[in-house]
Every structure is written in structure tokens, then in C-alpha cells.
A and B are shown apart, each in its own frame.
Chain A
Amino acid sequence: MKKAKLFAGITLLSSVALTLAACGKSESRSDESKTASKFKEVVPTKAAKKGGTVKVAVETDTPFTGIFNDELSTSATDTEVMQYGAESLFGTDDHYVFNNKGAATIKVDQKAKTVTVEIKKGVKWSDGKQVTAKDYEYAYEIIANKDTKSQRYTSSLADLEGLQEYHEGKAKTISGFEMPDGENGRKAVLHFKTMRPGMNTSGNGYIWEAAAPYHYLKDVKFKDLMSSDKIRKKPLFFGPYKLQKLVRGQSTTWVPNEYYYKGKPKLSKITATVINPNSVAQSIKSRKFDVTQVINSQWKNVKDTKGVNFIAKIPLQYSYLGFKVGKWDAKKGENVMDPKSKMNNKALRQAIGYGMNVNEVYKRYSYGLSFRIPTLIPAQFGDYFDKNIKGYTYNIKKGNEILDKAGFKKKGTYRVQPNGKPLTIRLAAMTGNSTAEPIVQNYIQQWKKLGLNVKLTSGRLIEFNSFYDKVQNDDPSVDMFIGAWSLSSEPSPNDLYGAKAPMNYSRFVTPENTKLLNEMDSQKAFNHKYRVEKFHEWQKYMFDEAYVIPVANSYSITAVNKKLTGYSLKPSDSMGNGFPNWYNVAYAK
């Protein structure tokens, strides 16, 4: 399991919303690569001055919860409203690999099975106290102690020696967490059961990347922590800004943290205010805020706004078409594939893939802000992404050939199964914005051209909760489904497609898949070249078998006041928390 901050902070719901929201009305688009160069990731750099207030829009339907603690927070909106103070311990390069430019340094030692973390001197909480090794350990305690009701405890984190014992209440301390210079020292040595090749990458899920102020929180009982004022009203952070004022659910106001280890930040104030997503386009046009996230379906309304820079990144997420070929065995905790299931036919799945005119659909409905993706490993992962795989490009002729060859004969309008039984495929798809329905209907029409009778499960699009209820519980009324994932920044697909992964909603298990996934995360895979090779092999395998067909991803665009400088969406410019480094943001002279 992976770490749940940052990119990962986006839950299913919001990632789906993002993906679907990315489909708007028609506007032509050239090709994917051209669109990619349409946006920059950074606003132009200018000479900065001191002072000024930056107003940031927080777009959400619901008031934020306001649990200002990485170990306890479960909502993406909370992560968003605390980004100004909640800096992560580690910095990364643009491919999310740890570098030592953040608040702490990290060293992975495969042989000794240790990870050494050293917090830099001068990294201080907003009350002036040095961040210590104990603060780092305390984050682990908050996660693992059952009383806190944290959702963050995972079997991956339990790779740390003694964490499971602590979690189960069998041990009072975490035996694998060593503090060579004592609690007030800055050094921590973490002892692991098994070393993983992804450990040098942010979001790997084995190493927690935040600290919690022990000296400040130690008087609060674990069970009261989540609702305590020290978390909810007056939290401590070691990032560039500290929380000055909170209006529950509505806004947070931040002022410089004078103890910030890189120096005093330049802005005099930042306010983050909740606005209804329906008001976003108007807010950008009337420049109510200095930083606003664009909702892609409203792009046409806002793109000509003067006085703002539009910058964008491609988030770590994708939508996909999954085929149900088995069931989850809750007792054994593993996926069981049913070789006789309707969709367990490679030719059928491939043909369905060739029948999707993803590019045309998004050209029509998303202003070119969404685009087809060829493989299940996003291009942002650098060399792990296999650029030779072209994916399922729209090709009705090829689809028909494949089906003919595999014995799906036509009887009237539609094809029948090779055994002569009629074939109806039921597709589950989620409700989204106004374009969700036409997009799905379009696919159904294309599949009809292949002679495939595809019907919507329940006869219409399904609301988010019901959708996942059906998909997670392997409802027999679902043969295939269009879902979406937001990914962790460590590329291993084991948690989504492994034999023991409950989120492998297709329920496919093949020896080859298991072998490749294991190899990717094996000790041998500490060799980068070997790991890349295995990633490429897996992508080829998944393309060929088509148990899951990747569909699309979308730009995530931010409108930034032209007077601001230093605002960057590059991972290397982030504070390790997936958000821009606010220390660098200032008004231009």
C-alpha cells in the first residue's frame, strides 16, 4: 500500500470528478503532443518584492473538515487548505525520486535493510522548536495506534520492524525505529523487514514522509487527538506559513512562519477560501482570487481572461475500462479468476478496446484538455513508461476481424458468443457532468458497429457510491466498467493489479502477471535498468491481454494572477507535498 498524502490525497470521488469534469463541449484540438506544449508548468520568473496578500480559491461542494494533521486527515480538501504549512520531510526531483533538498535527508541502504533519515538543523515548528527524530516517530505512532482511528495504517507501512506489534498493542514502542542521538536528536534509523526498490521514491507507502509535533501533542490522548483543538484549531507546522485564523469549514488564513528554515517567506498573508465549483468560471473572469483551479469543462469561458497566467500539469491519474473476469475471495483475501466468465475472452476484450474512439470523443467534448493514454503507466513516470506501446487506437475494421476470427458470429444486428449463446455486455459507468452521458453513449454506438450489444447496467449512468458498491462487490450485473484511479507517485502497479489486491476490480489473476509484478518489486529491481525492463514487459503484457484498458487523462489547469512569481507545479519545486512551494511565491516588483 502506498502513502496517502499529496497526489494520493485525492480520493476516488475527486479523481473521477476530475476525469469526467474534463469533458466539455466541442472545440477542435490538434494532437496530444501539441496540446501538451500549450501549457507551462511554471509562471514567468520576475524580481520578487515583500508583502501582499494572496487569495486562493478552494473549490468544493462541501465545507472542509479541518483535520490539520497528515496522519489523521482523510480528505483531499484538508490537504489542500493546509498546504501552506504542511511541508513534507523530503524533497523530490521531477520524477518523484527523493533528493536531499527538503527538510530532511534520506538514505536507503539495501544491504543493511535500513533507511536513515536526518532532519536538517534549523528545521523548526512554528513555535520555534527544532523538529526532532521523536517528532518523526510520533507520526508513526499516531498512524499505528488504534485509538487514533487513523485510516493511514497499511500493511506496507508495517514493513517497518515492530510497527505491527505496536499496532496490535503488543509493544509499547516501535522496535524498528532507532534514534541514535536520542529523542531530541535529529537522526532516525528505520529498520525494515524487506527492502523495496520503490523506497527511494516519494509516495512509496513504506516510508512515512511527515512529522508530528510531539512536544505539542504529547498531552493529548490518542483517542482525543482527531477532535482536539491542537489539531483542529491551532495546529503546528514547520512549513513556510503558519495558521493564523480558521473559519470552520470555510477559510484558513496564513501568515509567515518566522522560524522557517529557508528564511522568512515574502508574502504577508495567504487566505484560502471555499467556493462552490459552480462559481469557479465567474471567479476567474472577475479575478476574485489570485490562484484558482480551472474546471476543464468551463475552459472556453475562462481561457481569454486577461491578467492571469494559465499553467498546468498532467496529474497522476487515469480513467480505464475494466472487464470483470472473476470474484474477490474475502476469506482468502485474494482475487479468483473465473476462466468461464463471459469477458474472459482476449479477442472480445481487444475488439472492445479497438472500438473506443477516445480521441474523437475528447476532441468533441473536452476542448482537447483530456486525451487518450496508451498504457497503464503514465508518461510522468519517465523511463518506466513504455513509449513504444500505442495502445488501443480506434480501429473498427481490426476489431471486426478479431471478433470474426475468434468465432463471434453475427446473427442479425449483433454477434453471438462462440458457443452460440446470445451476447449482451453490461457496462457500468458513473454519473458526472453533462458530457458523461453522451461520451458513454458514443462508445456504445461504436461497439454496435462491431456487432456488440452493450447495455448500461441499471439502464443509466450510476451514482458514485452505487457504482463502487457494485464494482467492489462483483455484482453480476456488471460485465465491464469505466472507473478512474489517482495514483501514488511511486509507479509500482502492485496495489491495483496484484493477485491479492482488493482494488484489482477486474479480478484477473494470471501466473505471468503475478510473476512480472513480483519481479518489479523484487530485490533485483534495485537495479534501475532491470526494473524499467520489467515495467515495460508488464505494460506489453497488459496491453496484449487487455484485462484493463487505459482510457484517458486530463490536464489540471491553474489560473494564477499575472503579478505573482515563483508559482510552479513541477514536482521538484514542490515542498514534497504535491503542492507548489509557497516559500518561492511572491508578488513581482
Chain B
Amino acid sequence: MNWTQSLFRLVEPVVPPRFVVKRLLLLVPVLFGVASVVFAILHLAPGDPAIVIAGQRASTEQLEQIRQELGLRRPLWEQYLSFLWDAARFDFGQSYSISRGNSVRSVIADRLPITLELAIYGQAAGILLGIPLGIISAVKQDSLTDHVTRIGALTGISVPIFWSGPLLILLFSTYLDVFPTSGRIDSTLFLPDTWTLFGRELPLTGMITVDTVLLGNTEAFLSAAHHLFLPALVIGVYSTALISRMMRSSMLEVIRQDYIRTARAKGQGAKITLMKHGFRNALIPVVTVIGIQFGTLLGGAVLTETVFGINGMGLTIVTAIGVSDYPVVQGTVLTFALLFTLVNLVVDVTYSYLDPRIQQ
């Protein structure tokens, strides 16, 4: 039995392939819809790409030449069809402005790991803080700890990142001067493009904390972690709040179940019952929330990156919209949509595995 067969055997009984294929096919209309909306908005919005490229000093003739070459004089339906065809191949052409002369693909390849890294750390902070807080809150229901946790969670959900981010910068960077104001690493530390494994040169991941570890550069790693702390915290607060609230309500529901009472009646200790029977079952809806939350974190990255000046996908979208760099806007928005739908797919598959009724 080769490895593909083993893999198939491993996966096949867990989630029926038909279910996964069906969900994958459902991605097509979603992405088609997003692509169409993005195309429509950009073509309805004011702004002439020719001026973006040639600048204020360009003559009317030069602008017209550029419009012709970009195909902007073709009928709209023709432009739309060619856009869809290119989008299907994930080819959005070249950036007009923010990365002039480079393909949108390379822009995305540069930026995506930055955003993913931020979202992963934000998610990690959310899980590490949210789950214990939720459990404590549920176990000590209606106590002072519970009230404080719940108020904290509500506040965390309610306070927008564009407010909490600058406040944290003001406190930790301006007044206390313990964290840097922006960026991902100290401005004087530069990393090479590749790292070496067993004498082979390999490309870096683009995630700076991972790369500094791969390169074995402790100083750079500490600097990267130091720079990442505040932005990850800002994203993590929202995530923590949501996870802890979900964990609390799920836990409260579970500990009232008959099987918990039975376990206790059999003489099992409260802590063991809680962790062995209660916690595991209470985790099912939380896993779903964590998955969906990861998609939301990507959205949160737009604000966080803007506030902290981190050059990920979020800041790129904002900048590209600001300078009418349409190919970059199209590429990044569709990538976000693709990521979001893929994360949801993974959540669905996981959930369907945990609760087979969902496959019906």
C-alpha cells in the first residue's frame, strides 16, 4: 500500500469525499460573486488608472495611449470576461502604483505570510487566554470573577481596533517606551533571502518570527517578537473575548447534562469530571468558533496593520484603494475571499466530523 492509499484510507472514513467536493464546488459561485462585485465597484468608482501610472504631468495623448494599452477602451463586457479568465488563473497583471512593475501575484506572495503570522499569533493569544477564562467563568458562575470576565469579554468585543490600537501605542510606546511604535523588526536588522538546511539553500517563509528561528538569529527573533507583541495583543483581545464567551456558555450547558451528574454520582472528583467529560464536549462549538474567528482575524488584520504600520495584506488593500491601484485591490480582495471561504470549509469539514448530522 503506497502512501496515497494510506492517506486515503486515513481520511476517507472520517469525512465522505462527496461532502468535501460538494463544499468545494460551492466555493465557485461565492468567488465568482466576489470577483464580479470587485470588478463592478472598481469600474463604477471614479479614478483613471492612466493618471495613476503616468502622474499629474502626463499629457492627454500619453494618457490616451496608456488607456488603449491597458485595454480600458474595450467594451466593458469584454474587459469583464478577460478579468474573470485572468482571475480564474489567479493572474491580476501588474501593480499600477504600490509595487510598480511587479506582478500582483508577487505582491500577494510577499504580504500574505505577514498577515497570516499576525492572525496566527492573535488566534494563539485568543485560545490561550479565552479558553481558561471561559472555563473559570463557567465554573465560578455568578461570582465576582465571572462578572469581571464577562464584562472584560464584552468590552473586548465592543472596543474597535482602531481605537484600542492607538491607545496601546500611546501607553506602551509613547509614554512607557517599552514597545516599538510600528514595524516588524528593528530598522537596522536585515535578514538574508534564504536559509540553509543540510547545505541546501531554501527560501524563507515570510513569517518573520519563523524566519529568524530558521536562521538561528536570536537578536532578530527577539526584535521580531518584541515588535509583534502589541499588534498580536490587539487582535488577540477580540478573539479572547469571543472564545471565552463561547467557552463559558458551552461549558455551562454541558455541566448540566445527565452524564456529568452520573459521573459525579459514581463518585468521580469534580475536577476530573469537568475536564474529562465536560470540557471535551464543551469544546465542540468552541472549535467552530475558533475556525470562523480565524477568518474574522484576517479582517481584523486590515485595521491592525494600518494602525501598526505592518505591510501585510490589510495595509496593502487600504493603500491600493487610496492610490487606485486596481489590479492589487482585485488580487488582494479575492485572496481574502478565497482564504475566508477555505477556512470556513475546513471548519465545516471539522464540524461535520465532530457531528456527523451536519453532513445530512
Indicate, yes or no, whether A interacts with B: no
